[in-house]
Structure 1
Amino acid sequence: MKPQSLVRQSPTSHKLTTGCEIIDGCLRGGFPCDSLTEIVAESGCGKTQLCLQLSLCAQLPISLGGLDGSALYLHSEFPFPFRRLHQLSRSFHQSNPSIYANHNDNPCDHVFVQNVHSVDHLFDIMPRIDTFAGNSRNRFPLKLIVLDSVAALFRSEFDNTPSDLRKRASLFFKISGKLKQLANKFGLAVVITNQVTDFVESSDGLSGLRIGNLRYMCSSGRRVVPALGLAWANCVNSRFFISRSDDTICKERRENDENGPSSVSRRAQRLLDIVFSPYLPATSCEFMITQEGICKVQFKLQRDLRDGLQQSQRDDGGVNGDDVFGNQKSQFESSNEKFRLRLKARRIKRSIGIVLMSTPATVAVAGGGRGSITHVIFDMDGLLLDTEKFYTEVQEIILARFNKTFDWSLKAKMMGRKAIEAARIFVEESGISDSLSAEDFLVEREAMLQDLFPTSELMPGASRLIKHLHAKNIPICIATGTHTRHYELKTQRHKELFSLMHHIVRGDDPEVKQGKPAPDGFLAAARRFKDGPVDPQKVLVFEDAPSGVLAAKNAGMNVVMVPDPRLDISHQDVADQIMTSLLDFKPEEWGLPPFEDSN
């Protein structure tokens, strides 16, 4: 998709209901179209149940949260649960008789199932999906694609060698790219399931893969992480995690025995967590699976938050929870419940500590200056250009050779810095400095990046914002840690847009003695404006990297941060404003001319 298409398209796409009001509430309406949504869970947690229910709900009219369409179910976990689909279909038909009142068809008739045996088989199917979606002229055109599961396709075909990992990562981007293309072309919702692997703490202090705000996730008493690693995590737009516990959550009376004793039903309790998403805050909800499908569990949110904060305060040596909430104690005993509540408590304490005003799109931190801005400075990698995924892919491959895992805590320390500074952090923090020097790492990385950089795509909202500010005569420039050779490779497809900048300050600029978080780059950029040097308080910087935010604040400038949703929230405290995308930026909030198409 081109940036111009993002500007022209409707600001809100349709969402597909899950058929469960508590999950729909958590997801702000359901699963979005024009997007790739991943469901991560161990076996038996209900990810296939949810996908089957989505396949039926797609047939609902838009007014009821559906898409007025059919579903294509790409199934790689054999055998396909036809019996369960028919069971759900009967319940769905009974609940929505008006949809089929004038037709004799069955809801199952509009769920098309295609077995997928391998990655090569999936690529063979892709062109036919495009044709099928384009020629779909029946009552229910194709509106949902489910891939269940992506991990199964890679389970046995690849070894843990650098060459295989490189090939596997390349296939990740090809698969996700084709699915995103289909989603954007036909307005489809695309749902992908993924499996989990056990989380293993490394002995040298390098933690396992960090997923969004979570170092690991818990299910059935296990500490787990999503399969396929960080390279795949960069391919999906949203990631939801389903965990389970075998606590008894309800009692039922035996059928046809109204006067008899109640029997205990040990239905497993499921918890859906939003791990990362560009349009949703981190939250969770509980649900259960019945014969009729997925349904809600009454979620006592206030009690959970209260008990979670009490537990966190006791663990942190803070004030006693009784002093805040009265004489109340936590009653949760499962390890997964404690983990979830501590996560909630940490979010509460963060909100209390810095007084957040939050919406799904942006978070403004109290105390940030909002004076009249006259000049704007942009970072480039990860903010204007989607290049961070290339660094992630290559560095993950290099570390795999040493049986190490590249995680987001390490990536956060490297982002925005000069190449040699980031390289030293990489080899030292990962514990491979004795085997690979920073200089050798850069040479090895360079060879792999050369072919990737020319394919760099613009980030959503980048073109719109740059062209708007230029048209309104707001002086704009770039201050990036990227050196000149890489800058030329990354921008070669977007030279017209980048020519609108007043000037560019690169990482190998002679005035930039130290890289970010030192302020050298931003101060040099402010000096080179036509009427420079500009008062730092009149400058607004756009950044995605923690080190870049610190550099801008060290220069005395205002900062809007657009972090990757997988970046830990502890790195987001310094910025004056936080948002999930440049599309969410409102210039008038900073004294800049508003977009002409804004409402």
Structure 2
Amino acid sequence: MTSIKLCFTVQLPLSEGGLDGGVAYLYSEGKFPLTRLNQLAASFQRRHPALRAIDPFFRIHFVNIADAETQRHVIIYHLPALLGRARDAGSPIRLVVVDSIAALYRAEQLDRFSNSEGRREQKRDLCELGEHLKATSDRFGVPVVCANQVSDTFAGKDDNGREDDHPFARWLDVVVDTVAGAGMTLFAESLSKKPALGLTWSNTVNVRIRLARSPRSEFLLSRRLLCIEFAPHVRRAGCEVFVDKDGVHSREWVKSRLQ
């Protein structure tokens, strides 16, 4: 999980690509993967001497969220208070991770948001959460990373009501850097899926980064692609990445290990 790796990357010194600070991790995906967290902590301490002299878990402020109402309360009230206390104590939080923004809404879809009024309420909630996250980010100078889920896309209308017979077509102009020259079509099935929560959330985020993977039958193991789907300051592009017990690695990392 790339979002868990951020918990340790943000703690690294600026000279090593980190932000020399802590992280507020809001988690709503059920049971927290402590095994993976411990695995990455050991890996980071082994590879980065700067983390050996401290307890990296001390700088991870973990908040478990059980329902949409709790998520709203935490983001609006608890999160700004937490960031303020950490800053005043001299151990500032440099990153906020929400993992994931869609999980609780999907879980309550058949209850609260099953009718038209419920769906309007959901959209209002999402807009309010987005506004508060942006305001908190500006106030404390911290980036906010929100993990999202995807759903299948079928031929027919897209989110804007336009004909969309080939949802993968929008990716054909993206330049990607892959191993052995593999093209975007290798990841077509995954890239054809659409982010959850529709246009309401799509119009809230400033940058979307998509993680796609190939079918598992390809070379027996799935391959992964990291793409900038949209951003106001960089072009759409992507590169192949690899995930192992030490986290996420770039194509150049793999090439260096093979040399």
* TM-score class, shorter: 0.7 to 0.9
Cα 1:82/1:279, change in 2 over 3 Å:
same
**Contact kept in structure 1, 2:241 and 2:249, CA below 8 Å:** yes
How far off is 1:69 after superposition? 0.8
How far off is 1:160 after superposition? 4.9
Query: Which residue is equivalent to 1:140?
Result: 91
Equivalence map 1:71-82=2 (5 Å):
71-82=23-34
1:428-481 deviation digits (Å, cap 9, x = unpaired): xxxxxxxxxxxxxxxxxxxxxxxxxxxxxxxxxxxxxxxxxxxxxxxxxxxxxx
**Contact kept in structure 2, 1:69 and 1:139, CA below 8 Å:** no
Alignment partner of 1:129 is 2:97:
no
Query: Which residue is equivalent to 1:180?
Result: 134
**Contact kept in structure 2, 1:237 and 1:278, CA below 8 Å:** yes
Paired letter, 1:73? Y
Equivalence map 1:146-161=2 (5 Å):
146-158=97-109, 159-161=113-115
Larger Rg: 1
Correspondence for 1:224 among 193, 196, 219: 193
**Contact kept in structure 2, 1:51 and 1:146, CA below 8 Å:** yes
How far off is 1:163 after superposition? 1.6
Correspondence for 1:113 among 62, 65, 68: 62
Paired letter, 1:82? L
Q: Which has the higher contact order (CA 8 A, sep 6+)?
A: 2
Query: Which residue is equivalent to 1:85?
Result: 37
The 2-side partners of 1:109 and 1:55 are apart by 11
Residue identity over aligned pairs, in percent, reads 31
- Report which stretch shifted further, 191-200 or 56-65: 56-65
Alignment partner of 1:96 is 2:65:
no
> Which sections of structure 1, spanning at least 5 residues, go unmatched?
1-48, 249-265, 300-599
Paired letter, 2:30? F
Cα 1:215/1:60, change in 2 over 3 Å:
closer
What is the number of residues matched between the two proteins? 231
**Secondary structure at 1:191 match in 2:** strand
- Report which stretch shifted further, 166-175 or 130-139: 130-139
**Secondary structure at 2:108 match in 1:** coil
The 1-side partners of 2:136 and 2:165 are apart by 30
1:345-404 deviation digits (Å, cap 9, x = unpaired): xxxxxxxxxxxxxxxxxxxxxxxxxxxxxxxxxxxxxxxxxxxxxxxxxxxxxxxxxxxx
**Contact kept in structure 2, 1:196 and 1:227, CA below 8 Å:** yes
How far off is 1:287 after superposition? 0.5
How far off is 1:215 after superposition? 7.6
Query: Which residue is equivalent to 1:325?
Result: none
How far off is 1:61 after superposition? 1.6
The 2-side partners of 1:161 and 1:286 are apart by 41
The 2-side partners of 1:138 and 1:190 are apart by 21
Correspondence for 1:192 among 134, 146, 149: 146
1:233-263 deviation digits (Å, cap 9, x = unpaired): 0010001111112333xxxxxxxxxxxxxxx
**Secondary structure at 2:163 match in 1:** coil
Query: Which residue is equivalent to 1:201?
Result: 155
RMSD: 2.9
Paired letter, 2:105? F
How far off is 1:203 after superposition? 7.8
**Secondary structure at 1:155 match in 2:** helix
The 1-side partners of 2:189 and 2:166 are apart by 19
How far off is 1:214 after superposition? 2.6
Cα 1:135/1:167, change in 2 over 3 Å:
same
**Contact kept in structure 1, 2:13 and 2:50, CA below 8 Å:** no
**Secondary structure at 1:113 match in 2:** strand
Paired letter, 1:147? V
**Secondary structure at 2:239 match in 1:** strand
**Contact kept in structure 2, 1:73 and 1:111, CA below 8 Å:** yes
TM-score, scaled to structure 1: 0.36
Correspondence for 2:251 among 279, 283, 297: 297
**Secondary structure at 2:213 match in 1:** strand
